Structure 1
Amino acid sequence: MSNTGKWALWALMIGTAGLATAAPRMALAVMLPEIREQLELSLFQTGLIWGADVLTGVVSSVLGGTLSDRYGARTSLVVACIGTGFFGMARGLVPEFGWLLACSFLTGPFINLIPLNLHKAGAQFFPRRQLSISNAGVSVGMASGFMLGAITAATYLSPWLGSWRLVLALFGSLGILFGCVWLFIPKRTGVDRVAEHAAGHNFTAGLQHVAKLWDIRLMTLANFGYGACVNSMLGYVPLFLRNVGWAGPRADLAVSLFHVASLVATLPFSVWSDRSGHRRSFMLAGSISLSLATFAIPLVANQSVFAVMVVAGLMRDAFMSIMITRLMESEGVGPAYAGSAMGLSMVGMQLGGAVAPAAGNALAALGPGRPFQFWSLLALSAAALFWLVGDRRGPEDSAS
């Protein structure tokens, strides 16, 4: 592939991550107070809605990673983007809680496959020495989409369009659009190259292979705590701040600052990790800073919340980029097994992100700060597990 074509695909990866994945997820988070009021949901039911698509992503990540290794990233992205858009739009048509929960569950198998396959696509047409840059592009797209969803969905789009339902329909249509764009990416780019390489493998061979790797096991467990904390905290902060008297736009600004900090820091931290080779140090820093900031949110007052949210978000997407790069650098993985390795590792993150919101929200009955303390401990447990993962730099091979 030409150098121009490689960076054009990189730009498409950024757009897909931001507008088909991150923006609709964060839009749902900041519109939860409006949805909760209109559908008369309890705090526990609100937590279930926020975690539902992540829960179904637990199963889809394992199967989707294996399917991606077998059929290729491009084909998987077409299906994932269109499925995300369709069921995302359907959430805006629901009459009550049960239907909203069902549509959120059905969105999960698709929306959670998009980042996985974007990272795999990058591994297929970027050389190893640029792998962090490739993964950072996906993280930049995610951070941009989270910021866009947080700033615009509840404060601007919902009043302008007249309903949270139409906001979900708008973002759903963007998912379908990106699916159609990936459909027309020619196979000669190499984005489906691994599909041919793995076509003769048993369906579960890749999964069985990566499940035996010690690094993958450790990172799967660590990702449970990290994913539980970051997903739960981001879903709860808008509700928490409104409940303590913050105006809606001000509460949304706090969440937006999390993603602004993440967006600004992603590329510098990713390049720094490439040059130093110390992936573990960055994973530790990301987990510990998230834990401390989450614990501090209910303890600080007024403007200090903004500073704490910046600290919490500073390494969020850089962490994802570096963690996935370290995953691909694990002995026995490489491009051929990247989908299976990411799928299995993401199971931990998605399982944590699915069960922890409702579990933490239930603790709010004991005090408004209890959920933050619970999620902070989970992030700290992730740091302890990442400590056991060593640094490893693979050979400087090239993607052809």
Structure 2
Amino acid sequence: MVDDAGRDGTSDETDSESRDAVPPSSYALVVLGAVSYLLLMANWFALAAFLEPIARQLGLSDTQAGALVGAVPLTYVPLSLLSGLALDRIGARRGIALAVGIFGVAQLLRSATTGFVGMLATTVLFAVGATGITFGLPKLVASVFPSRLLGTMSTVYILGSYAGTATAYSVGRAILGPELGGWRPTFRVLAAAALAFLVVWLPVAAWHARRHGTPYGGDAGSDFALGSLRADVAQVFSHRVMGLLVVVGTVYLLLGHSLQGWLPTLAGARGATPARAATVATLFVVGQAAGTVVVPPLSDRMGRRREAVVACGVAALLGVAGLAVGGGVLAASVAAMVVGTGVGGVSPLVRAIPTEIDEIGPALTATAVSLVFAVGELGGFFGPFLVGGLRDLTGSFVPGLAVLAVGALAMIAAGMRLPEV
């Protein structure tokens, strides 16, 4: 079996390319995987989209509402590694199906909750399913695509996640909420859409598994014995490149969560109207999408991962600096686009690079990516907290943005030390 083009040691280029050919159904499977990510994010951010009416109806305090919004990313910290280890054993296709079933049922239960404790419990259950999509999709791509296409195909499902976030607000809050009469029926419809997706995914995934299997590896023969689990964890934790990727992933989540949460307020502090402030936040997402579309495929074509990560770090640093020193809404808009490009560009790379490490590969991709998120979500949780806390202390966003800039510098430094895997 050939791991990727040019690694089989033969001089027959035509034979290598033929063995490296990807069946069209593998592309279709990843597109369906992108739909699963869309459904996940639409259900995930429906809570944030309807937070005000939910808090009012359930009688939540601001602290309780904030805890619900942060519950999913915070649950990733203790749960990620366990989820990754499980996915490396049961396989991506079955893991994704199980994940969709879990978050679909959790969303259905969330629609019926009557208090904070019930909403928190069902949101934590939702997070269990969410990890299966976050780590299952990188494993799926690693299992059915050669390394020359990993960045490009990772872009496909990342775009699905952006579409899902937009759907939560533009369809869920703006259309379904008013039409259906509130957040509870909207949650039920979104949950039903996720569960209905399984009617398509299950037969397609089963057929693909029978017909094509996992041509690039990935369905490890390891069991759930404690010794096997320890060996996999030790192999991932001890690898130097994974340590560098944890730094990159932590900064990626630090920047993403912090700016998504605070950009509208920052723009408002610069004199923007609510509509213009929302536009600045939207431009950050547009920048993310642009970076996701451009950077990973370009990295695939050039065979340069290290330079791509460094370039994303530089873009993030310039964008954060622009937010700190820019004095108006226009400057904030341009800076948001620039930093978004860096954040969006590095997002697929932290999921794709582990597969290309010889000691990890497709078999341990889910475990490796889960390590990045297990540590990285601490940055995702504490980043917004630090930006807000420093503003309370100083009355300015500049100290918080300085913290984000230090993070961008750390991404650049880690990227420069990455080997070309």
User: Cα deviations across residues 280-336 of structure 1 (Å, max 9, x unaligned)?
Assistant: 222233234335434654754344443333223223333111222222222311111
The equivalent of 1:24 in structure 2 is: 43
Find the counterpart in structure 2 of residue 285 from structure 1: 311
Instruction: Give the counterpart letter for 1:64 in structure 2.
Output: S
Partner of 2:23: 3
- Work out which of the residue numbers 83, 104, 109 in structure 2 matches 1:64: 83
Listed one character per residue, the Cα deviations across residues 19-55 of structure 1 (whole Å, up to 9, x for unaligned) are 2223333444444455456656565544432221111
Question: Cα deviation per residue 1:186-220 (whole Å; 9 max; x = unaligned)?
Answer: 13142596335334871332122111101112221
Asked if the contact 2:88–2:364 (Cα under 8 Å) also holds between the matched residues in 1, the reply is: yes
Query: CA separation of 1:179/1:45 partners in 2, compared to 1, >3 Å: closer, same or farther?
Result: same
2:17 is aligned to none
Give the secondary-structure state (helix, strand or coil) at the position aligned to 1:205: helix
Alpha-carbon distance between aligned partners in 2 of 1:180 and 1:239, rounded to the nearest angstrom: 42
Between the aligned partners of 1:35 and 1:247, the Cα distance in structure 2 is: 26
Shift of 1:368: 5.7
CA gap 1:317/1:377 in 2 versus in 1, 3 angstroms: closer
- Distance in 2 (CA, whole Å) between partners of 1:295 and 1:96 is 42
Q: Determine the C-alpha separation between the residues in 1 that align with 2:177 and 2:272.
A: 19
Which of the numbers 245, 252, 259 marks the counterpart of 1:219?
Answer: 245
Letter paired with 1:391: P
Trace 1:82-101 onto structure 2 (pairs within 5 A).
Answer: 82-101=101-120
Q: 1:116, 1:343 within 8 Å by CA — same for their partners in 2? A: yes
CA shift in 2, pair 1:391/1:277, >3 Å? farther
Q: Aligned in 2, Cα 1:281/1:35: closer, same or farther, shift over 3 Å?
A: farther
* Shift, 1:279, TM fit: 1.5
The answer for the alignment partner of 2:232 in structure 1 is 206
Give the C-alpha shift of residue 390 in structure 1: 1.8
Equivalence map 1:148-187=2 (5 Å)? 148-184=167-203, 185-186=205-206, 187=209
Distance in 2 (alpha carbons) for counterparts of 1:46 and 1:125: 41
Q: Which range is displaced more, 367-376 or 71-80?
A: 367-376
**Alignment CA distance shift 1:86-1:215 (3 Å):** same
Larger Cα-atom Rg: 2
Shift of 1:79: 1.3
Q: Secondary structure at the match of 1:174?
A: helix
AA in 2 matched with 1:389: R
Question: Compared with structure 1, are the counterparts of its residues 99 and 250 closer, same or farther at alpha carbon in structure 2 (3 Å cutoff)?
Answer: farther
Secondary structure of the equivalent of 1:78? helix
Partner of 1:12: 32
Which of the residues 317, 332, 340 maps onto 2:344? 317
Shift of residue 340 of structure 1? 1.4
**Which residue matches 1:135?**
154
Does the C-alpha gap of structure 1 residues 34 and 284 become closer, same or farther in structure 2, counting only changes over 3 Å?
farther
SS at match of 1:93: coil
In structure 2, the CA distance between the partners of 1:381 and 1:91, relative to structure 1 (3 Å rule), is farther
Q: Which moved more, 1:167-176 or 1:104-113?
A: 167-176
- CA deviations on 1:245-264 (whole Å, 9 max, x unpaired) are 86666544433332233324
Determine which of 288, 293, 306 is the counterpart of 1:267: 293
Distance 1:255 1:342, change over 3 A: same
Q: Greater shift after overlay, 286-295 or 239-248?
A: 239-248
Distance 1:243 1:175 in 2: 39
- 8 Å CA contact 2:244–2:415 kept in 1: the answer is no
Please tell me the residue identity of whatever aligns with 2:377.
Q
Q: Is 1:197 matched with 2:225?
A: no
Count of equivalent residues: 392
Judging changes above 3 Å, is the alpha-carbon distance between structure 1 residues 180 and 389 closer, same or farther for their aligned structure 2 residues?
farther
Root-mean-square deviation (CA), in Å? 3.2
| Code of the aligned partner of 2:86 | L
Aligned to 2:14: none
Residue 126 of structure 2 corresponds to residue 107 of structure 1: yes
Distance 1:109 1:319, change over 3 A: same
CA drift of 1:345 comes to: 1.6
Q: Which amino acid aligns with 1:309?
A: A
Distance in 2 of aligned mates of 1:158 and 1:251: 23
Shift of 1:125: 0.9
Residue number in structure 2 paired with 1:396: none
1:370 & 1:327 partners in 2: Cα distance?
35
Task: Tell me, in whole angstroms, the C-alpha distance in 1 between the residues paired with 2:173 and 2:322.
Answer: 25
Opposite residue 313 of structure 2, the aligned amino acid is S
* 190 and 335 in structure 1: CA distance in 2 versus 1, 3 angstrom threshold: same
Stretch of structure 1 that moved more, 23-32 or 106-115: 23-32
Determine if contact 1:277/1:391 at 8 Å carries over to the other structure. Answer: no
Q: CA deviation at 1:377?
A: 4.1
Contact persistence 2:313–2:412 (CA under 8 A): no
* Aligned-residue identity in percent: 25
CA separation of 1:200 and 1:151: change in aligned 2, threshold 3 A: closer
Q: Secondary structure at the residue paired with 1:195?
A: coil
SS at match of 1:204: helix
The residue matched to 2:232 in structure 1 has which SS?
helix
> What is aligned with 1:230?
256
Change (3 A) 1:165 1:281: farther
Relative to structure 1, is the Cα distance of residues 232 and 97 closer, same or farther in structure 2, using a 3 angstrom cutoff?
farther
SS across alignment from 1:314: helix
Q: Distance in 1 between matches of 2:62 and 2:267?
A: 14
Counterpart code for 2:131? N
Deviation at 1:230, TM superposition (A): 0.9
Q: Kindly indicate whether the alpha-carbon contact (under 8 Å) linking 1:226 and 1:382 is maintained by their aligned counterparts in 2.
A: no
TM-score (norm 1): 0.84
Is it true that 1:333 corresponds to 2:353 in the alignment? no
- Look up the SS of the partner of 1:88 in the other structure: helix
Once the two structures are superposed, residues 87-133 of structure 1 have per-residue CA deviations (whole angstroms, 9 ceiling, x without a partner) of 23333333344433333222222212202111111111112221222
